[in-house]
Amino acid sequence: MPDLKDKEYSLEIEKKTAFDKAQEAKEIPVYMERLELTEDQKKAIIKEYLEEYDVLEEQRKLENLEQKWQALDNQYEGKIQEDARRQFNLNRKITKIKINKCTNLIMQAFFESDPIYAVSPRPEYDKEGGREVCDKQQDFLDYKLDNLPFRFPIGLTVHSSGVKGTGILKMYHDIKRVKRQREERYNGKLEPIRGKASNQPIMGKDGQPVMENRGLIEFLKNWPKAPEDYPGLVKKLMEGKEITIMADYWDTVYNDPRPKCIDLKNFRIRTDTDGYEGLKTTKLIDEIQSYSYWDLKREEAAGKFFDIDKLIEDKDGVKKKNYAKEDYIIHEATMFVKLKESDKDDIRIVFWIDEEKHIIIGAERYRYNLIDSIYVPFYINMKKPGCFYQPGMAEDLTDTNLAENLILNLSLEAAYIQNTVTPITDDEDVESQFLEKRFAHGVPIRAKVGTIDFLQKYMRPSDMNGLIGIMQYLIQTDDDVTGISSLMSGRESPIDPSAPASKTIALLEQSGISVKDYIMTISQSFNEVGYILLNMYYQISKEGRKYAINPERVVGNNPFATLERNEMAARTNIQTRAYAFDFDKVNEKKADVSLYQMVRMEPIIARRPESVYMLLKNIITAWSPKWKNALDQILPPLEQFKKEQAAVALQAVVQYVQAKKQEEATTGVQAEFKAEELVPMINDLIAQIATPVDEKVQKEQEKNAQ
């Protein structure tokens, strides 16, 4: 829980309206309450919204953001304006190549790190035993990121940051409920209660089996309100009859945070907003959404929207033609407003307003108490202070992409001209032979001497080596600008195909440094996602949530645990481990094995089973996904390994006591138990778990003991 000591705070009992209670009956949280607005409040909010929205639009137009983003999208996709004077109009797509490499590596580093997040206690929380809670939060986040639909929307967001410089990820609580139907049968026949172990009937005091109506018990368990709503069915079961019912029910298929990538074209914010911190306090955040008529009516039925029919009526109140086929542009606005003139402070609300008619069709108080902004900006570069929209990789590649396209098309045109036979002749037969493409090398040309000539004789040979040299220079410029080496794919250099492996490795290492810079920049956004996940679960959960424990922390046969609700809000530091990811797997394996061989027999390592355990675990998990999945079959879980160490320590104590008892029986003198004798014995036996004693040394010890 957040520490409220020495802080000003007030407590207030949460009030529930009739609408809230109706929403709760539908399993919709009370914090999603609809905000009831008067007509005057709606008019004031709309007026204030439109004034602020005009400022946002003016700033976008001033910086030509829409045109800039469209041009960058076209550059990435390889769309170019064709030049009719050229034989070839091709795009080398270097922008797509570089950005795909970079974004794929970022996604790999984030999602393939194990664990994805490293959670550590803050100094004030460490004293209160916070490390155990940190482990639970860490496993919980890993479990949720693996099982919720995160990879695709985060991938789109990272891609947007690579192409346009900025990506927007929205994290919101989503509840999906589906109406289902199933047939159920219940038998009201009395049956004896059986013991779990013996499976024999349990006998009562009268010597008769204790009976129960299992059908009735199961029916009431599934339908607790049945005695009030369907007393006839309950009566039949009590009479020992069998009933068959067709149950209609709502099934909650999703009740978790959901990430969504927001297209920059549908997002409005002041351009001088200071990143995520600025989003927490800015006046207005506007997101453009598209709804069909049926989507709007469904949300209206669910209680989220209202006054939908006003959108489909004209000025005379008559429904428009084809209203059911149209798409309606709705703005979701998150804005600070004063609902009453007497309000001292602005409150944050979320409302939905139609773009065409400026009608508010839904409103609610800002849902999330511990999350200041559910919109998280992702940046791959941070080069412009005080700007919300940062430059991306595509912008850095624009000039060289255009130049490489030109060189590529000129080279192809030169090669085409050099390898195409173009005759100069007045002879119609020769002309038709070439126009009808009946000419091929080796086929005679029927013409009088001196009546045919060839254009190639008068053309200067193309400087193909020069064009290739310029292209190579531009490719090197791409590498320098982005820090992403063209050799990351393992292809040889066209200029130096015999380059030694050391040169390639050096380039890859240099490229890896630049990728890590991109990862360090974007990791701040990944960290915010972790904080938002925990805080959102804290608010939407009435109790703890189950998750799969990291295998090394499994105790016993239960691989699941529960993160209690108060533990979700514990103040911890959440850091993505993507920055520590090693992209060069081959060299990583060699380095791991070399390290193992170098330190394995060092006394400080050899005598510590935990150190040997961690070295082996690191090598196995990094070797390949196949062996990583088989880790539990090769090494015991860490908790079990510690239990085995404790058992060995206990065995050492038993051996020591037995030896002392034997000594006492032999000498007749009461044995004295000394810690300085017992502790080394325990340490030696524990050390032998990882490093057994050499046979010669063991025989020598046994001989000396005798």
Helix (H) or strand (E) holding 260: strand 242-262
Identify whether 625 is part of a domain.
yes
pLDDT at 412 over 80: yes
Phi, then psi, of 246 in degrees rounded to 5: -110, 110
Residue range 317-355, pLDDT digits in tens = 788 888 888 999 999 999 999 988 888 889 999 999 999
Please tell me which residue, 275 or 491, carries the higher pLDDT value: 275
Q: How large is the greatest C-alpha to C-alpha distance in the chain, in angstroms?
A: 132
Q: Are residues 499 and 589 in the same domain?
A: no
Identify whether 25 is part of a domain.
no
Maximum average pLDDT range among 59-68, 514-523, 652-661: 59-68
**Residues 591-613, buried b or exposed e (16+ Cβ, 10 A)?**
ebeeeeeeeeeeeebebbbebbb
Report in angstroms the alpha-carbon separations of 652 from 325, 603, 657, 685: 81, 21, 9, 7
Last residue of a domain, one of 492, 507, 522: 507
Q: Residue 527's Cα: distance from chain center in Å?
A: 11
Per-residue pLDDT band at 552 (split at 50, 70, 90): low
Maximum average pLDDT range among 390-399, 538-547, 600-609, 635-644: 390-399
**pLDDT at site 506:** 47
**pLDDT at site 114:** 79
pLDDT at 629 over 50: yes
Phi, then psi, of 498 in degrees rounded to 5: -95, 20
Question: What are the DSSP calls for 33-77, one per residue?
Answer: PBPP--HHHHHHHHHHHHHHHHHHHHHHHHTTHHHHHHHHHHHHH
Identify whether 150 is part of a domain.
no
pLDDT at 49 over 90: yes
Across the range 547-551, mean pLDDT stands at 66
Identify whether 653 is part of a domain.
yes
Angle at 372 between CA 146 and CA 382, to 5 degrees: 75
Question: Using CA atoms, how far apart are residues 489 and 633, in angstroms rounded to an integer?
Answer: 35
Per-residue pLDDT band at 128 (split at 50, 70, 90): low
Per-residue pLDDT band at 513 (split at 50, 70, 90): low
Do the beta carbons of residue 528 and residue 540 sit within 8 Å?
Answer: no
Phi, then psi, of 186 in degrees rounded to 5: -135, 135
The pTM score is: 0.75
Last residue of a domain, one of 454, 481, 507: 507
Three-state secondary structure call for residue 118 = strand
Per-residue pLDDT band at 126 (split at 50, 70, 90): low
pLDDT at 62 over 80: yes
Per-residue pLDDT band at 694 (split at 50, 70, 90): low
Identify whether 43 is part of a domain.
no
**pLDDT at site 636:** 78
Three-state secondary structure call for residue 613 = helix
Please tell me which residue, 415 or 391, carries the higher pLDDT value: 391
Q: Are residues 687 and 590 in the same domain?
A: yes
Question: What are the DSSP calls for 426-459, one per residue?
Answer: --HHHHHHHHTT---TTS-----TTSEEEGGGGS
Q: Are residues 590 and 679 in the same domain?
A: yes
**pLDDT at site 149:** 92
Per-residue pLDDT band at 80 (split at 50, 70, 90): confident
Residue range 96-106, pLDDT digits in tens = 999 998 899 89
Identify whether 134 is part of a domain.
no
**pLDDT at site 71:** 94
Per-residue pLDDT band at 503 (split at 50, 70, 90): very low
pLDDT at 287 over 50: yes
Question: Using CA atoms, how far apart are residues 324 and 365, in angstroms rounded to an integer?
Answer: 30
Q: Which of 197-211, 372-386, 445-459, 526-540 has the weakest average pLDDT?
A: 445-459
Across the range 614-641, mean pLDDT stands at 76
Amino acid at 477: T
**pLDDT at site 127:** 52
Do the beta carbons of residue 228 and residue 138 sit within 8 Å?
Answer: no
pLDDT at 490 over 60: no
Across the range 417-439, mean pLDDT stands at 78
Number of residues assigned to the chain: 706
Q: Can the peptide bond before residue 201 be classed as cis, meaning omega within 30 degrees of 0?
A: no
Q: Residue 364's Cα: distance from chain center in Å?
A: 28
Place of tokens 């939905």: 352
Express as a percent the part of the chain with pLDDT over 90: 32
According to the 3-state scheme, what is the secondary structure of 76-100? HHCCCCCCCCCCCCCCCCHHHHHHH
**pLDDT at site 650:** 84
Phi, then psi, of 34 in degrees rounded to 5: -80, 140
CA 253, 255, 261, 267 dihedral sign is: positive
Identify whether 686 is part of a domain.
yes
pLDDT at 273 over 90: yes
Domain extent at residue 184: 176-251
Q: Are residues 601 and 688 in the same domain?
A: yes
Across the range 267-277, mean pLDDT stands at 95
Identify whether 570 is part of a domain.
no
pLDDT at 151 over 90: yes
pLDDT at 443 over 50: yes
Number of structural domains (the chain) is 3
**pLDDT at site 441:** 74
**pLDDT at site 555:** 53
Across the range 54-68, mean pLDDT stands at 95
Residue range 17-41, pLDDT digits in tens = 554 555 555 555 555 678 889 999 9
**pLDDT at site 659:** 81
Per-residue pLDDT band at 551 (split at 50, 70, 90): low
Residues 6+ positions from 101 with CB-CB distance below 8 Å = 484, 488, 489
Across the range 641-648, mean pLDDT stands at 80
Three-state secondary structure call for residue 290 = strand
Residues 6+ positions from 402 with CB-CB distance below 8 Å = none
Helix (H) or strand (E) holding 134: helix 130-147
Average pLDDT, the chain: 82
Last residue of a domain, one of 232, 251, 270: 251
Maximum average pLDDT range among 198-212, 556-570, 620-634: 198-212
**pLDDT at site 4:** 46
pLDDT at 410 over 70: yes
Question: What are the DSSP calls for 156-218, one per residue?
Answer: HHHHHHHHHSEEEEEEEEEEEEEEEEEEEEEE---EE-B-TTT-PBPB-TTSSBPEE-HHHHH
Q: Are residues 589 and 682 in the same domain?
A: yes
Express as a percent the part of the chain with pLDDT over 70: 85
Do the beta carbons of residue 121 and residue 131 sit within 8 Å?
Answer: yes
Place of tokens 């600008």: 481
Residue range 658-684, pLDDT digits in tens = 887 887 777 777 777 777 777 777 777
Q: What stretches of 493-562 show up as alpha helix (H) in DSSP?
A: 501-540
